[in-house]
Amino acid sequence: MALVKILFIDRRQQMSEEINDTDSSVGEDKNWKAIREENKTLKEELVKYQVQERDSLFKQVGLDRTKGVGKAADLMYEGDLEINALKTFITEEFGEEVVSGQQDSIRNTVNEGQNRLDALQQSAQTINAAPSVQEQIAQAQQTGRTRDSIASKMAALDELKDK
């Protein structure tokens, strides 16, 4: 019984010492608003660094976090920020083998196709675009042909009539 009483007294002394220690620390740090502000900024920086880390991880794997499988994987993946872990997750979850640079080759193919389409569209516009009356008159003056001169004057008269 005496042993239990001694332990109880020691326990009570330890608890009172802990309370005294916390009371003194509260007295020293009364600027809680500054601590909250610092905590908030540190959390924002942490989120920023986590986003950068995820971006670099997905780029190393060869995926774009804004499109396709990369976007879906980004929304679902909560594992370690390691290349092998992400690759195994994508393989298990989506059944796709990810090879570094896979997105780049697809992107290059799409860009080449878009460039060809733009060139075709531009050439189609030049074919479909009828020359203006002023251009026809200038061309007729350069060639010096009477037929072109009369045709351009007739086009000018038709244009004036339509207005």
Question: Within a 10 A sphere around the Cβ of 58, how many other Cβ atoms?
Answer: 23
What average pLDDT does the segment 97-105 reach? 57
User: pLDDT, tens digit, for every residue of 76-99?
Assistant: 888 888 888 888 888 888 776 665
Res 15: pLDDT: 58
d(CA 151, CA 139): 11
Q: What are phi and psi of 19, to 5 degrees?
A: -65, -40
What average pLDDT does the segment 152-159 reach? 84
Question: Within a 10 A sphere around the Cβ of 56, how many other Cβ atoms?
Answer: 11
d(CA 160, CA 8): 111
Q: Highest-confidence range of 44-48, 59-63, 64-68, by mean pLDDT?
A: 44-48
DSSP assigned state of 155? H
What average pLDDT does the segment 29-50 reach? 89
User: pLDDT, tens digit, for every residue of 2-16?
Assistant: 544 555 555 556 555
Structure tokens at 52: 């950068």
Domain definitions of the chain by residue range: 36-98, 100-129, 131-163
